[in-house]
Structure 1
């Protein structure tokens, strides 16, 4: 069946008043202190103790890794002589928080890179975790908690839940090298999570009003704010930043509608403005049904043959819906309520929203996932 959707958009030249500001947010939710962030770590390791669910002999790098590991422990064995299915090669990742000291523990994630069927019940051997500079910042080791399980029989029946080839080692990482941002340079920078000129200006005003001067904070651009640490706060920058993070600012966010065409999901923010518009939505359904037939020759005919064939039966049906006038609304709820009278589905709503955006009836960014 072929489904054809038609959408007609008529725009009137009316305007709406701007929306009110949203609730104030803490600066902590709007911006990050530059340099105070997590750092990604990665490493290559082996998970042992698997119950026959590890990598097969076709995974050459697993056998080479086993041979190299045993060689460092004083056991000499050729990679070609290894027949174990209890070991899996994995990639190990972790997040190194800022200001963490040597000896602190981290959660470690592991994922198979061979053809292992499951990591359940395995143990991650000591794995160096390196940063982008090649330095070792942590070591990972411990029992793997797999995120799922799988089971099968020799007849081919199998069952699986979630992903058994990846897992987590809670507290399995130990920090060996610290990453300490420098907060004593005299100047600090705050980077906005969502760059915006209006929000940056409001943050600068809130910071200067709190400190009582106009030369402490300034906006470098829409994404960065420079803060000069006052002389009386230089000895305790941590407390100074703690005070600034709790200040509240009314962020100015752009209207945005996020559409997921695969699932038919539509999510809209409160700042979306719908201008007055008229919508006509109709559905044209075309059904093509094959009809099989058999043609036989007449009785006692000479040289006749029985022939099978097929013809297509084509039918069309079009729904006639009235034109709905959608008044100006300050949020997406008014539009959805009006379109419900047309009986549109979630996927049809996506098509209508895209057409309205093209026609200029929606004052918001349309993001299609």
Structure 2
């Protein structure tokens, strides 16, 4: 088939220091010993329209036959042909302090040769914590955000169809490990260590509660609990109020690309230097032109010189696309998106710009 489906979502994070939004300290940090634990289980997804595991996945019929035995039905696993069933591994993250009945999302990933989990429902699956204890169970309909159709040798796909989420599909039936009891000090660990951000956090805390916060390193801010807070309730309340204080975040200098879904996230601090990259039938060129502004005669003004960036992208069959103005990675991504460039080609182009020293950012591919 000559039909190609491309799904490229471009998310440009736009912010500036003067009008940047503020975030709570609790949203960009974690407390020690509060790392979520991962629970895992083996399950079955049913209700697939012929897109389930094929004959090569021998463990799927065995698991299905074992499930039927729980309902008093004896079947021969070797004789089962299950096109509407797929074996999956189910995972979730459970945070310390959660109690029985708490819910969270589940992620189901195909283990066999299923072509799509679209429209499927996960049967009740027991989830084990890292120590092998049953702590939760998951079930419910999957949401995959894509599709995968194949017929008569033709195939049309969108996004990654063999991994799906079950919103609120996990329920705890055992308490998670408790939160650590508060003491005379507590620590904020930055989720993304950054010395400048750590200083901002300490300054925000000290502005509200004078002299209680110190920066230990780019990842750690130590906060002392004032002596008037004695009981556990008072200390937890103080810790919560400190966590609700806000700071201005550091602008991101990352480009994150998800090849499975085609999602591209460009941080607002990403800049590009002059460069040219050729990839297949695409040529990307980033250049700078000096602009001189002369004052009017006898105006006592001064001559101003600045550099204007220009981006040009040429594709065989589509001609030349040029953009004047500040050269940013977001501009390049938008231009490539308008030409229908695939995520893989975008990744190669950004990697080329990074290797050439033009892309002044960290490139993260997930």
Same fold flag (TM > 0.5): yes
Asked if the contact 1:147–1:166 (Cα under 8 Å) also holds between the matched residues in 2, the reply is no
> Structure 2: how far apart are the matches of 1:344 and 1:57?
52
1:181 to 179, 190, 199: 179
Give the corresponding residue for 1:41.
39
Instruction: Trace 1:2-81 onto structure 2 (pairs within 5 A).
Output: 23=20, 25-81=23-79
DSSP-derived class of the 2:217 partner: coil
Q: Aligned in 2, Cα 1:193/1:365: closer, same or farther, shift over 3 Å?
A: farther
Q: Aligned in 2, Cα 1:133/1:21: closer, same or farther, shift over 3 Å?
A: farther
Give the corresponding residue for 1:125.
123
Give the corresponding residue for 1:227.
223
Q: For 1:249-308, what per-residue CA distance to the aligned partner results, in whole angstroms no more than 9, with x for missing partners?
A: 456x48847598x99x9956459799xxxx7x8999xxxxxxxxxxxxxxxxxxxxxxxx
Aligned residues: 290
Tell me which structure has the larger Cα radius of gyration: 1
Structure with the larger RCO, 1 or 2 (CA within 8 Å, 6+ apart): 1
Q: Aligned in 2, Cα 1:186/1:177: closer, same or farther, shift over 3 Å?
A: farther
DSSP-derived class of the 1:236 partner: helix
Asked if the contact 1:255–1:365 (Cα under 8 Å) also holds between the matched residues in 2, the reply is no
Give the corresponding residue for 1:171.
168
The reply to whether residue 367 of structure 1 matches residue 362 of structure 2 is yes
Name the Cα RMSD after superposition: 4.4
DSSP-derived class of the 1:232 partner: coil
Asked if the contact 1:107–1:172 (Cα under 8 Å) also holds between the matched residues in 2, the reply is yes
Instruction: Trace 1:314-329 onto structure 2 (pairs within 5 A).
Output: 324-325=289-290
The reply to whether residue 217 of structure 1 matches residue 213 of structure 2 is yes
Instruction: Trace 1:207-356 onto structure 2 (pairs within 5 A).
Output: 207-212=205-210, 214=211, 216-233=212-229, 234=231, 235-249=233-247, 253=250, 256=253, 258=255, 269-270=268-269, 324-325=289-290, 337-339=308-310, 346=332
Structure 2: gaps spanning 5 or more residues: 1-15, 279-286, 293-305, 313-320, 324-331, 337-348
Q: Aligned in 2, Cα 1:134/1:21: closer, same or farther, shift over 3 Å?
A: farther
DSSP-derived class of the 2:228 partner: helix
Give the corresponding residue for 1:191.
189
Query: How far does residue 163 in structure 1 lie from its aligned partner after superposition?
Result: 4.0
> Structure 2: how far apart are the matches of 1:323 and 1:152?
47
